[in-house]
Amino acid sequence: MSRCYIAKGIARGTAVAPPSKSYAHRLLLAAFLGGRSTTVSNIDLSNDISATIDCIKALGGIVSTEGSSVTVERGAAKADAILPCRESGSTLRFMIPVALALTGSAQFTGTAKLFSRGIGEYEKIFAAQGIKYTLGADSLKVEGHLDSGSFTIDGATSSQYITGLLFALPLLCGDSQIHITPPVQSRPYIDITLDVLRQAGVAASFEGNTINVAGGQRYALTDTEVEGDWSNAAFLDFYNHIGGEITVKGLNPDSLQGDRVYRELFQRLEGGFCTIDIGNCIDLGPVLFSMAAVKHGALFENTARLRIKESDRICDIARELEKIGAQVITYDNSVTVVPVAQEKIAALSQKSIIFDSHNDHRLAMSLTALASMFGASLQGCESVAKSFPSFFEVVNHLNIDVRHE
């Protein structure tokens, strides 16, 4: 595990938002499921995106990479393939139904942390359709073909289950319905999936809390480009709220990405103690908690899903924020952040603070911004490679000195 030191400094300059990981996963999968060679450009080969590419190859996809462009062609589907998902929850949950629809048998591998996050909604489908599965500490083996029909998914769990089904069901002979039990959280991620399906010529429609998907459809995605990532842009824009002067370019102002709301939420945190529902922007949790800790505090609602991410993002960020004197009070589905007194922030420069990323990219990027306010070390800085491999290069370019220890 590597460690770096982030020197005290004021961020200045211009940065380009990295490509959207959410769109990249989905566009690559739609390209694979089509019947033509398709190029997806503006791809950042983060660990998660590399996992999706590796799984596409394992299922028979023909993939070539040139710079930031990835060309995908379907190829012959391979039964009993081993799909290396690394630590990508999106990859695992998107690929399970697709593999069952294409081949009827596959094995998924990855870290113990990935599989500890569970596949509960799929286990219910396996039981209903007689699909055999063996779930281990770091692997999952499935045998059986996914059938069309009626599916019920808990809307309070991960939207990744819904996306996985949405990619697979159009490939089947019969029509299907996905009934989502309210509350429907992370709706923007479902909307992104529907947008990618639309781009690929695949029809699926929302009616109330039910998505109708016709069977027997064909994917026909044309060459396309991944838009900028609002989720990761938030970590860069955070510097503007702690004294920095930077411009983040490359973002689509009309994007369907739910994390586009971060700008509004940052302004609310600037205005004083407030209440924020993060049910539809759960990945913003770490950066919002961090900003609240050095501003006016806040009450965050619908936070429970933060516990089943790459880390326990409630418990682990609480440990780190307590190192600077903030307090994090946790409840079943909400979190209150009590800020550190402003006069105490300057004194933190006299301390030798060592933050821990807990192997979580979003904690690492949030804590890096905080560290620039007073100077601190970060353990596990390599975790940013999961979604934003060039993060520290970008931060260095913005006048913040980051040195690997």
**The residue type at 377:** S
Burial class (CB in 10 A: 0-12, 13-18, 19+), 381: buried
Q: For residue 39, give the amino acid letter.
A: T
Beta strands 69-73 and 62-66, pairing class: antiparallel
Q: How far is CA 173 from the centre of its chain?
A: 31
How many CA within 13 A on the CB side of residue 191?
Answer: 12
With tokens 């060679």, the residue in question is 37
Residue type, 307: R
Dihedral sign for Cα 81, 84, 88, 89, please. positive
Strand ordering across the sheet containing 3-6: 354-356, 376-379, 3-6, 402-404
**Which residue is associated with the tokens 């990619």?**
167
Please identify which residue in the block is written with the tokens 């393939």.
Answer: 81
Annotated catalytic residues are 283
Residue 122 and residue 93 in contact, taking contact as beta carbons nearer than 8 Å: yes
Query: 């936070």: which residue's tokens?
Result: 303
The first and second tokens of residue 231, run together, are 């989720």
